[in-house]
Amino acid sequence: MAQVIAEGVCVDFPLYHGSARSLKRTVVAAASGGRISKDAQKRIVVQGLRDVSFTLSPGERLGLIGSNGAGKTTLLRTLAGIYEPVRGCVRIEGTLNALLDPNLGMNPDLTGRENIALRGLFAGLDRASIRRVEEDVITFAGLSEFIHLPLRTYSSGMIVRLGFALATAIHPEILLMDEWFLAGDAQFIGKAQARLELLVRNAEILVLSSHEHKVIKEWCTRALWLDRGRVMKEGAPEEVIAAYLDSIEEQRAEWKKEEDREKGDEKRPAPVAERVS
């Protein structure tokens, strides 16, 4: 039975920029007790996730909401096992497919067919399964003759179709999905939606990150609101989304107030200090 457990997960991103990336400076700094090049020791750490905990059982569909940079993609990558937590624990039971990068491992010099085979190998499929995926993808993406040509001859729409068809060809028990999946060209989207819905239906657990609150309300049984890596609220999608929207309103109102105050300050004559003295 599939299960996803996150226990107090923390993820930090060390920002190695400039001098922290340099061995010479690190050595000099160490040899001089940090006097010569202090900045090599100063490792700026960006907090990606802070103490995130939840458990997902079969049938649960979790929607992640929050502004850009709130940690949604980081959480998906952590659940996919790409980033290993700095504190806490992630436990995944069941087969997993993470739809994070539409062009995963695609090589523009290879033909469509070769790219399909390559992706099949990435997923650990055997020859027979790869052939099945190949048929499925070719039918769905409607590439017909182009499947024998290198990817660099494709239009951008064709590449999107191929990437989407490939990513959704393998049905996992646990599906992680980033928001780009819901974008696509209009002609393609109806067809894509049906395929995506089937994929979601077949998955026991779904974790979806999206800005489209409508999609979260429709597809998810739970929602998680992230802000700067922290869980702000977790619960039924309607409630969490309402709380999130409220906070945005509040923030806007605050900004407005601040703006007004600043404007007001400008209009009002500066408090005269002399009067007091």
Partner 1 sequence: MSDFTLERSAAPAGHEADLRRQESARRVLELRAGLGFRGRHRLAVTDLVETAGLWRLALALAWLDVKGRYRGSMLGPFWLTLSTAVMVGSLGVLYSTLFKTVLREYLPFLALSLVLWNFLQTLVSEACLAFTQNDSIIRAVRMPFLLYGARLVIRNLIVLAHNIVVIFVVFAIFDTWPGRYGLIAIPGFMLWVVDSLALAMSLGAICARFRDIPPIVNSVMQIAFFLSPIIWRPDLITHGARFLPLNPLFSLFEVVRGPLLNQVPGETIWAAALGYSFLILLLSWLLFVRVRGRIAFWV
CA distance 117 to 250: 51
- Measure the CA–CA gap between 57 and 198, rounded to whole angstroms: 19
Site for partner 1 in 179-218 (CB under 8 A): 190-191, 194-195, 198, 202
**CA 219/CA 197 separation, integer angstroms:** 9
Q: Which is nearer to partner 1, 24 or 211 (CB)?
A: 24
State the minimum distance, in angstroms, from the CB of residue 167 to partner 1: 10
Contact residue for partner 1 among 63, 66, 163, 172 (CB under 8 A) = 172
Considering only residues 19 to 78 of the shown chain, the ones binding partner 1 according to CB under 8 A are 21-24, 26, 77
153 binds partner 1 (CB under 8 A): no
Smallest distance, partner 1 to C-beta of residue 202, A: 6
Q: Considering the rule CB under 8 A, would residue 220 count as an interface residue with partner 1?
A: no
Q: How far is the CB of 251 from partner 1 (least distance, A)?
A: 31
Q: Which residues contact 57 (CB under 8 A, 6 or more apart)?
A: 1, 3, 205
| DSSP three-state, residue 41 | coil
Q: Which is nearer to partner 1, 108 or 235 (CB)?
A: 108
Using CA atoms, how far apart are residues 168 and 177, in angstroms rounded to an integer? 10
The closest alpha carbon to 230, from 50, 24, 44, 15, belongs to: 50
Is 65 within 8 Å of 217 (Cβ atoms)? no
Q: Taking the complex as a whole, how short is the minimal distance between the CB of residue 169 and partner 1, in angstroms?
A: 8
Q: Is 171 in the site for partner 1 (CB under 8 A)?
A: yes
As a residue count, the chain comes to 277
Q: Which residues make Cβ contacts (< 8 Å) with residue 107, sequence separation at least 6?
A: 114, 115, 118, 151
Phi/psi at 248 (5° precision) = -65, -45
Nearest CB to partner 1, comparing residues 91 and 261: 91
Residue 135 or 239 having the CB closest to partner 1? 135
**Site residues for partner 1 per CB under 8 A:** 10, 13-14, 16, 21-24, 26, 77, 80-98, 100-101, 103-105, 107, 109-110, 114, 117-118, 121-126, 129, 132-133, 139-140, 170-173, 190-191, 194-195, 198, 202
